[in-house]
Structure 1
Amino acid sequence: MAGRKEGKEVEDRPQVNLYIETSIKGPKIQDGEYIYVLEYIAAGVPVTRAGRGRQEATTENRLALAALVEAVGRINRPACLRIYTRCGHVLHSLQNHWPRQWKTNGWKNAKGKPVSNVDLWEQLLEAMEPHVYTITEDDHSYREWMIVELSVEGKEKC
């Protein structure tokens, strides 16, 4: 899943930035939404594509994973991805390449306990296969807009 490819193959790939925000922060189970923005350059012009989703009785981790799976699934050729998320579990799991280890260990973590959200981790591993990536919690220019979008949508549902 992580960028182990090297040399010219990687240099020729388009750079795609993926920004993810969720309406849930922390482990509490509740209804929530995600929003993502894909950003890349095509024919010298910046292009953005956005998507969003809603889930009932879910967690921040599950929302972030669902956003990642959906967004990465929209990328139709191998790319160099830079993923921006504030979801700590997803961030650290991908930074440390844990999903591949979990898969090898029968979807058990280092303590031998079952991994949560296996369905989404499996989908993500498959979707990320042709890509190389970095992941960060750094701030970005879309964050404020995305947070406002999530809060406006949430108020309209009330």
Structure 2
Amino acid sequence: MRVVIYTDGSSRGNPGPGGYGAVLRYTDPAGVLHERELSQGYARTTNNRMELMAAIAALEALKRPCEVEVHSDSQYVVNAFNQHWVDGWQRRGWKNAKKEPVKNPDLWKRLIAAAKPHDVRWVWVRGHAGAELNERCDQLAVAAATAPVAQLLGDEGFEG
């Protein structure tokens, strides 16, 4: 099963209210396209945390191991896997090359676990450059970030 995922995160202030958006696409054996959109807003978070949450939410939504292509305009997310930063962070006990604590370890660990059952390829896409699904994810993320306060969740990893 091959799934193409687009993701984006947003925050209105950094930190501030934030949200993520994801679009998952799968074409079944009969050639029928299935599409699912995911989004959620948070009361106080950062853009990078929302970029991570978009990928986490999309991968966690998959019910069985898949061949997955994750498109993100976040070099932070894409390079962490393609340049094997996460491998070094794990080897060094969640410290970066400067021996400083890695930011957002709670979400990195969750993303690694969400990706583990799948064969994931990480693809960087330039943000706000007209890529239809990237633009849709941005719309979802911004809408989630600007939703009424009562609809926003707490980001325990950020606040804690």
Length-normalised TM-score, structure 1: 0.79
SS at match of 2:100: coil
Deviation at 1:106, TM superposition (A): 0.6
**Do the aligned residues in 1 keep the contact of 2:41 with 2:144 (CA within 8 Å)?**
no
CA shift in 2, pair 1:151/1:57, >3 Å: closer
User: Are 1:147 and 2:146 matched, yes or no?
Assistant: no
SS at match of 2:78: helix
1:79 counterpart residue number: 66
2:25 counterpart residue number: 39
Q: Which structure 2 residues correspond to residues 16-27 of structure 1 after superposition, within 5 A?
A: 16-24=3-11
- What do you get for the CA RMSD once the two structures are aligned? 2.2
Deviation at 1:36, TM superposition (A): 0.4
**Following the alignment from structure 1 to structure 2, what is the Cα–Cα distance between the partners of residues 155 and 123?**
25
SS at match of 2:108: helix
Length-normalised TM-score, structure 2: 0.78
Give the aligned residue type for 2:134.
Answer: R
Matched residues, number = 144
Segments of 5+ residues of structure 1 without an aligned counterpart are 1-13
What percent identity do the matched residue pairs reach?
28
Deviation at 1:123, TM superposition (A): 1.0
Deviation at 1:80, TM superposition (A): 1.6
**Following the alignment from structure 2 to structure 1, what is the Cα–Cα distance between the partners of residues 145 and 79?**
28
Any idea what the Cα deviations from partners look like across 1:109-150, whole Å, max 9, x if unmatched? 111110111111111111111212222222632233333344
